[in-house]
Amino acid sequence: MTDTATDTMPEDLAALEADLTARIAAAGTDGELEEVRIHALGKKGVVSERLKELGKLDPDQRRVVGPAVNGLKTRINDAIGLRRTHLQDQALAERLAAETVDVTLPVRPAPIETGRVHPVSQVIDELTAIFADLGFEIAEGPDIETDYYNFTALNFPEGHPARDMHDTFFFNEKEDGTRRLLRTHTSPVQIRTMETAEPPIRIIVPGRTYRCDSDQTHTPMFHQVEGLVIEENATIGNMKWILEEFCKAFFEVDNAQMRFRPSFFPFTEPSMEVDIRCRRTGSEIRFGEGDDWLEILGCGMVHPNVLRNCGLDPDRYQGFAWGMGIDRIAMLKYGMPDLRAFFEADVRWLSHYGFRPLDMPTLFSGLSQQ
Ligand code: DAH
């Protein structure tokens, strides 16, 4: 058909078709092709002009030239359509080649997958969840303390040997003879709280503490959680129940047998140390069974002198308190043998013992997702 059409076509039309066909073939992009289309078929395009000129021809000429120009228009239009489809196919093929995904490659883990929560943070979250459920608030105090809050207000008399047992880090003496220290326990926050809050008081104080000591189970910086309850009729019975509930929830066992041994702390009277029943087999420890006992905390009824030091009337208020090593209960629960590794910032240790950041400990979903 093309041949017939070209045969009956005036020569200049044949030249025009050859030119347009070449331009169409040369168009490498959609944009270039559009330029060719406008050049040929646009309002003022070369083919459109020819169509307009048909009116000026005499009827005989028009009969010959008319179909020729119309045929040219149709062929150019078709050729542009074909070229457009071809260019689109080509572009798609190039894109597919460029965006190839190799689904057999290993998935690159997102930061949320590789990051780990340190066991100390995890255990603080766990015990916070437990004590919050029991109606406790969180209190905090400064790491750098005065002698008054760390010792004197807690009923450590000046020169009492109990002060020396704390292996305190002291700062240099100031001109007025006083010297600050790094708190050796979280107990000073008891004082700071009782000075300002009205009973009833129910707080826990997780935080950093410092002592000049270092071996497999001691580091110069470690963590404690203090507990304090002050009410008009708080009793030792209440304290034992709270500590037992805590141990069952924390160690995730139904039964946690505890042993309260008489002890001494200047800020409590009576004072006790608490052991929990366990069974040790090799490096594994199971709680609530067996014949071994592990010390996990110190506690007692708040000494009347301490209440008095905070402006509370010991004839009206009484309370109990306890202090527990966070790192120690973390080691026991998660079987980590060396405390020093906690603070070495070794990513391999953390990826082994750390916790996934989105697994938040809650009482209803389970504390440790073990
Ligand atoms: N502050 C004590 C210590 O670091 C622990 C402690 C014992 C805290 C008895 C208390 C308590 O609140 O009642 O060794």
pLDDT tens digits, one per residue of 271-287: 999 999 988 887 778 88
What residue owns the CA closest to ligand 1's atom 2? 323
**What percent of the chain has a predicted confidence (pLDDT) above 90?**
68
CA angle 181, 323, 330 (to 5 degrees): 100
- Structural domain boundaries of the chain? 3-98, 116-353
The second-level CATH assignment, the architecture, of 116-353 is 2-Layer Sandwich (3.30)
Q: Using 50, 70 and 90 to split pLDDT, how confident is the model at 1?
A: very low
Average pLDDT over residues 323-337: 91
> How far does the centroid of ligand 1 lie from the alpha carbon of residue 367, in Å?
25
Given this model, what pLDDT does residue 7 score?
46
Q: How far is the CA of 323 from the centre of ligand 1 (A)?
A: 4
Which residue lies with its CA nearest to atom 5 of ligand 1? 323
Q: Which residues line ligand 1 (CB under 6 A)?
A: 185, 187, 226, 265, 268, 298-300, 321-323
Q: What average pLDDT does this structure show over 279-308?
A: 90
- Indicate the pLDDT class of residue 369, thresholds 50, 70 and 90: low
Shortest-distance Cα residue to atom 6 of ligand 1: 323
Examine the pLDDT at 231 and tell me if it is beyond 70: yes
Using CA atoms of 211, 336, 332, 280 in order, give the dihedral in degrees to the nearest 10: -130
Distance 299 CA to ligand 1 centre (A): 6
In the reported structure, the alpha carbon of residue 222 is separated from the centroid of ligand 1 by a whole-number distance in angstroms of 14
Contacts 24+ apart (CB under 8 A), 68-73: 68/5, 68/8, 68/9, 68/10, 68/13, 69/13, 71/5, 71/9, 72/5, 72/9, 72/13, 72/16, 72/17, 72/47, 73/41, 73/47
Q: How far away, in angstroms, is 266 Cα from ligand 1 center?
A: 9
How many CB atoms neighbour CB 6 within 10 A? 16
Q: How far is CA 170 from CA 20, 260, 289, 365, in A?
A: 94, 33, 43, 44
Distance from Cα 294 to the centre of ligand 1, integer Å: 17
User: Which of 226, 275, 329 has most ligand 1 atoms within 8 Å of CB, for mutation?
Assistant: 226
- For the chain, give the mean pLDDT: 91
Ligand 1 atom with the smallest distance to the CA of 302 is 13
What pLDDT is recorded for position 115?
87
